[in-house]
Amino acid sequence: MREALDRRAAAVLRHDVPPDDPAARTLGHLAAVPLATWAYRVLGVDRDGPRAVVRAELAYTLDGHDAGPVTTGRVLELAERDGRWRVTADRPADGAAARIWEQGPVQVVRGARALVLGVGQDRALLREVAATADRALPAVTAAWSGRWSGRVVVLVPGSLDAMAALLGEPVDAYRGTAAVTTGRPGGGAGAPADRVVVNPEAYRELSGFGRRFVLTHEAVHVATRTATTAATPLWLSEGLADRIAYRGTGRSAADAAPELARAVRAGDVPAALPADGDFSFGGDAGRVARAYEGGWLACELIARRWGGERLAAFYRAAGERGQDRAFRDVLATDRAAFTRAWRDHLRQELSSAPS
C-alpha cells in the first residue's frame, strides 16, 4: 500500500496521473501548478482482505514559494490485484477543507514574487492580483524587520462560496471580506505554508487603493507568521497589518477610522483595547470596524512614541511572552497605562474629525 501511494505521488509530481486513477480528472487540474513535493503519510489502515481504507495526510509544496508543506487529510481506498495495490477512491477526510484543484482547472499567473492560482476567473483579474501583490511586498519588507521569504501565494477561487469551501467555513463568515490569510501561528522556518485567499466578489468592488491595501495587509500576516502565536492579541496582529498597509498613503486617522471617529465624537471612547472576539465577522459590522481601527491606532501610538523597531520588538515579545509582559519588558509600561494613553490618542486624533 505504501508503494501504491508513493507511485501515485510520483505521478502527480510528473503531471502524469494514469487515466484509470479515480481522481485522474481532478488531479489533472494541477497541470500548470509548479509542484515541488507531493507525499502521503499513512495515519491508519483498515484492511479487509484485498481491500483497504487508508487514512492519510497529504503534504505538498510549491516550487520557489513554500519552505514548509501545506497539509490536508485524505481518505483513500485501495484494492489489491495480482499482488499489486492501486488506489480506487480518493476523498477529503472528515472536516478537511476543499483544495483549489478540486474546484476546477487551476490557472497560474507568476509575478516577480507572487504566485497566483485561480479557478474559473478572467485571466486579466489574476494578472492584476499578481501585479498588485508584487507592488505590496516591498512595503512589507521595508516595514517588518523580521526575516521572511518576501514571496506570497494567492488563491483566487471562482466565488465567495468557493472561497468558504477552501477555508472550511460558512459563507457568512467571509461575506464582504476581500481576502484572508491561512497559516498556523507560531511556526518555525519549516512551518506549514501560508496562502492568501481572495474573495473575488468583494475584491472586484475595491478601488485600486483598496486592492493594494488588502494584499499588503494580508502579506503582513504572511511575513509575521513565525512571530505570531496564540498569545498574540488580534488588536496587535491586525493593527500592525493595517499600519503597514496605510504607511506612506497619507490617509488621516479620520479617513482610516470613520466608525471609531463617530463613536469618539459621540463621547463613546472605548474603555479597553479591542478584544479578540471583537474581530469576528458575521456579526456587528460596526463593532468589527471599530476593532480594526482601534488596533491600527494602538500600533500607530506605539510607533510614534517608541518607534517602529520597538513596535516590531513588542510584537515578537507579545507572541513569546504575552502582551502584559511585552508592555513591561519592551515599552516599560503596563496595559492599563497604555490603554489610558491610547484613549487619549483616540480623542486627540478623532474628536475633531468631520462627520
CATH of residue 52:
3.10.450.50
178 vs 160: CA distance, rounded Å = 10
**Same domain for 249 and 207:** no
Average pLDDT, the chain: 93
Reference 103, options 68, 155, 65, 60; nearest CA is 155
Question: In the chain, how many domains are there?
Answer: 3
292 vs 238: CA distance, rounded Å = 7
Residue 183's pLDDT band, with cuts at 50, 70 and 90, is: confident
**Same domain for 191 and 126:** yes
191 vs 184: CA distance, rounded Å = 7
> Residue range 149-166: average pLDDT?
95
Q: Quote the pLDDT of residue 184.
A: 63
**Same domain for 354 and 233:** yes
3-state SS, residue 148: coil
C-alpha grid cell for residue 76?
A: 483513500
The H-or-E segment that residue 74 falls in is: strand 70-81
Domain C-terminal end among 194, 226, 258: 226
**Whose grid coordinates read 496595559?**
335
**Same domain for 213 and 172:** yes
Domain C-terminal end among 207, 226, 245: 226
**Same domain for 116 and 78:** no
Cα distances (Å, whole numbers) of residue 287 to 77, 235, 272, 290: 47, 13, 13, 5
3-state SS, residue 81: strand
Cβ(249)–Cβ(288) below 8 Å = no
Q: Quote the pLDDT of residue 328.
A: 98
**Same domain for 106 and 58:** no
**Same domain for 173 and 285:** no
**Same domain for 140 and 30:** no
Q: Express each pLDDT in 298-336 by its tens digit.
A: 999 999 999 999 999 999 999 999 999 999 999 999 999
Q: Express each pLDDT in 109-144 by its tens digit.
A: 999 999 999 999 999 999 999 999 999 999 999 999
Non-local CB neighbours of 21 within 8 Å, separated by 6+ positions: 8, 11, 27, 87
Domain region containing 24: 2-96
**Same domain for 210 and 148:** yes
**Same domain for 188 and 114:** yes
**Same domain for 68 and 111:** no
Q: Express each pLDDT in 202-256 by its tens digit.
A: 999 999 999 999 999 999 999 999 999 999 999 999 999 999 999 999 889 989 9
**Same domain for 190 and 238:** no
Q: Is the pLDDT of residue 353 over 60?
A: no
> Residue range 180-187: average pLDDT?
72
Reference 130, options 110, 148, 144; nearest CA is 110
Q: What is the CATH number of the domain that holds 172?
A: 3.40.30
Domain C-terminal end among 226, 253, 282: 226
